Amino acid sequence: MRRRLSAAGVFQGVWSGFVLLFLIVPILVIAPISLTSSTQLTFPPPALSLRWYREVFADPAWLRGFRLSAGIAAMTTLLATALGIVTALALVRWRFPFRKAVYVVILAPMIVPTVITAAAISFFFTAVGLRGSLAAFTLGHTVLALPVATIILAATLQGFDERLEHAAMSLGASRVVALRRVTLPLIAPGLVSAAIFSFLHSFDDLMVSLFLATPRVQTLPVRIWSAVFYSVEPTVAAVSILLIGVLILGLGLVQVSRRLPGRGLEGR
Amino acid sequence: MTRRRPLYLLLAPGALYLVVFFIYPMAGMLWRSVSSPSGLTLRFYARLIREPVYFKVFVNSFEIALEVTLLTLALAYPLAYFLARLQPRATNLLLVMVVLPFFTSTLVRTYAWMVLLGSEGLVNQALVALRVPGAPVRLLYNRTGVLIGMSYILLPYMILALYSVMRGIDRGLLQAAASVGAGPLRAFWRVFLPLSLPGVAAGCLLTFILGLGFFITPALMGGTRDTMIAVIIEQQVEQLLDWHFASALSTVLLVVTAVGFIVYDRVVGMERLFEARH
């Protein structure tokens, strides 16, 4: 009996280790590939060099893509977080009929396969003549980011004691002042998370951008897509490392913001 | 003091936004799938059934989604069991290894696998070094590549779905089973496994539904015989410019996905979906 238990335990440990390696190795492998001196993707790299990073930073097309993606993601963040906070307030505080139906509609863009949403949005913006415009990318990305922001903010608001707001108002604060000076500082970590995940959703989106892009206006993921589609070159590894850097920065900021709950309260 | 009236107004901006930029475009797509210059028609749907190429793509997609679901379940179940038993601090560290790939761009992760699985990639180098017969093996641009790539990308969903259920299972029940004479395997089989089934259902349904609509990985890692629905939708929109047929394909995928999520809601409950993600 004991022997079988330990055999099962060993199997489990080995299997779990294998799966964890399976999860992490592909991401770790990109780093040495991006530092290779060779044009081949041989592993390990024959010698280390920064040539692919130089290549990326010297290529105006990559830089344009990066700037375009960052700009679109910034605007999407503002729009999705603003709409998300208002929607989340309504969902959490207002006990209305058909709540579940409304929930499903708001979360639908997360559930519907992105290729469908992207196709539908591109038909729409092409019909109104906005394909390839900054507005189309931003409005399209916000459709995908809004449910994410709303879920995070709704979860945050659920944990917020509404009576604090009432207390502020009973002490003479107007509704707006109570919201600004009591509620907002307290839900700040949730707001930061919502903003960062909105940003990442837009920054990483390929599908909507692919359908809205024109040969002249291409976001970073669209450029990566065309690069990978035709050849698996190390430039993409360098760009990938930069993308992972943005991701780690974002997730780090989320962690930091969680350490500062209700900072505004004592501060004022 | 607490005037409740304006609260419904708070719902207006978000709802209006989605109606204009999501619902309306989707409605337009549904309409396009049944309309032609000469009036209403079902010919785009008929084409889907009549042309074996497209029918095959649907069969492929179901097969691949099913295979990926089973693969991820086999990979994830022991790991989730292992993670759920550890001390919280150790679990958090290991969960980072699950969550980091989860948030990394699908495009980047797919590229990484293309590098690893190429004919001179790390995996084939290892196989050659180990003198595996037949190595180097073709691992890219075929079904194997698609299965590896998609399993990789969907694995975190499965792990998190299983883990969130297993964490809630009282391990004391296993000790209780042992105290009444059940061996560890029997205790697992009769006590733990049945209790973990809600997680299995949630993980499998989610993986299957998400897998069915996959685009990036099958497009980049698959061969011509592993085309999936999303890939031909993109081809119809971007290369063949046949919006009507693309709309019909999208509508079918949409209906299948909707059915999937209705089942998910009945079996697991929609609320779980949002817990699992954040």
| Nearest residue of chain A to residue B257 (CA atoms) | A112
**Contact list, A152 vs chain B (CB under 8 Å):** 278
Mean pLDDT across the stretch A132-159? Answer: 93
Q: Provide the greatest CA pair distance for chain B.
A: 79
Residues of chain B above pLDDT 90, percent: 57
**If you count them, how many residues does chain A have?**
268
Distance CA B200, CA B163 (A): 10
Tell me the ipTM for this assembly: 0.89
Q: What is the DSSP letter of B22?
A: I
Residues in CB range of B176: below 8 A, 6 or more apart: none
Give residues 33 to 62 of B whose Cβ lies within 8 Å of A.
none
All domains of chain A in start order, with CATH: 52-267 (1.10.3720.10)
Of A117, A121, A204, the CB nearest to B105: A204
Print burial letters for B232-244: b (CB count within 10 Å at least 16), e (below 16): bbbebbeeeeebb
What is the C-alpha to C-alpha distance for residues B58 and B61, in angstroms, rounded to an integer? 5
CA B39 to CA B124: how far, in whole Å?
56
Question: Residue A265 pLDDT more than 70?
Answer: no
pLDDT of residue B275: 55
- Name the residue ranges covered by the structural domains of chain B: 41-277
Q: What is the pLDDT of residues A65-97, one digit of tens each?
A: 999 999 999 999 999 999 999 999 888 887 777
What residue in B sits closest to A208 (Cα-Cα)? B234
CB A209 within 8 A of CB A139: no
Closest CA to A208 of A125, A114, A134: A114
A210 with B234: Cβ contact below 8 A: yes
CATH class (in words) of the domain with range B41-277: mainly alpha
CA-wise closest residue to A247 among B154, B104, B101: B104
**What pLDDT, on the 0 to 100 scale, is given for residue A264?**
40
Stated pTM of the model: 0.89
Residue B118 burial by CB count (10 A; 0-12/13-18/19+): exposed, middle or buried? buried
> Within chain B, where are the H helices?
7-18, 24-34, 43-50, 52-85, 88-103, 106-117, 122-129, 143-166, 172-179, 184-187, 193-212, 216-221, 229-238, 243-267, 270-277
State the Cα–Cα distance between residues B10 and A152, nearest whole angstrom: 17
Highest average pLDDT, of A206-215, B36-45, B260-269, comes from: A206-215
Residue whose token pair is 């495009």: B107
A143 → closest Cβ in B22, B111, B219: B22
Q: Which residues of chain B lie closer than 8 angstroms to A15, CB-CB?
A: 78-79, 82
Residue A176 has pLDDT above 90, yes or no: no
B125 contacts on A by Cβ (under 8 Å):
43
Closest partner residue to B120 (CB to CB) among A42, A104, A247 is A42
Nearest to A86 among B10, B108, B109 (CB): B10
Computed over every residue of chain A, the mean pLDDT equals: 87
All residues at 6 or more sequence positions from A197 whose CB lies less than 8 Å from its CB, including other chains: A145, A148, A149, A152, A250, A254
Number of separate helices (H) and strands (E) present in chain A = 14, 0
Determine which of A192-196, B90-94, B213-217 has the lowest per-residue pLDDT on average: B90-94
Instruction: Calculate the alpha carbon distances from B51 to A30, A37, A265, B54, B241 in Å.
Output: 41, 49, 66, 6, 18
Residue closest to A87 by CA, chosen among A34, A13, A25, A156:
A156
